[in-house]
Amino acid sequence: MKTLAILNGPNLDRLGKREPEIYGHATLADLEARLRAEFEGVAQLEFFQSNHEGEIVDRISALADAKIDGLVINGAALTHTSVALRDALAGSGLRAVEVHISNIYKREEFRQKSLTAPACVAVITGLGLEGYAAAIRFLLR
């Protein structure tokens, strides 16, 4: 059975409360429960969320050292600003899929540029929380 990590960046702990017209009403706990139920017996899922860039970078390094099978990452605002996050992904050797809940190409111009996407094997944007499941299915192939 493959082990996959799902990493969420800043403010995603506020899902369901923060801008529900953009991100929906489901919480991060709802998302985790949904993914665990959908992939039970198919994949071992590890979840991590932090509002702190360095903690996410450290987690990517730890996952690389643990030689997990893949990574789903929603770097949130760090996607658009963090060279450190990009470098951590690129240097990890992990197959990573970048996920965005909203369609970043329908948002503000600054959200339309991802620094981390070139370090990922794929990007999923605008599918809502279903994007996470799509990313997991892709990594399991």
- What is the residue extent of each domain of the chain? 2-140
Q: Is 52 a catalytic residue?
A: no
pLDDT at 45: 98
Locate all alpha helices (DSSP H) within the chain, ordered by sequence: 20-23, 28-39, 53-65, 83-92, 130-140
**Of 90, 86, 82, 112, nearest to 100 (Cα)?**
112
CB 13 within 8 A of CB 55: no
pTM: 0.94
> Which helix (H) or strand (E) is 47 found in, with range?
strand 43-49
pLDDT at 107: 80
CB 133 within 8 A of CB 43: no
pLDDT in tens, 35-89: 999 999 999 999 999 999 999 999 999 999 999 999 999 999 999 999 999 999 9
Q: Is 100 a catalytic residue?
A: yes
Question: Rounded distance, CA 31 to CA 33, Å?
Answer: 5
Q: Which of 25, 52, 80, 100 is catalytic?
A: 100
CB atoms within 10 A of CB 136: 22
Buried/exposed 70-100: b ≥16 CB within 10 Å, e otherwise = bbbbbbbebbbbbeebbebbeebebebbbbb
**Domain topology for 2-140:** Rossmann fold (3.40.50)
* Helices and strands, number each (H, E), in the chain: 5, 5
User: What percentage of the chain has pLDDT greater than the value 90?
Assistant: 87
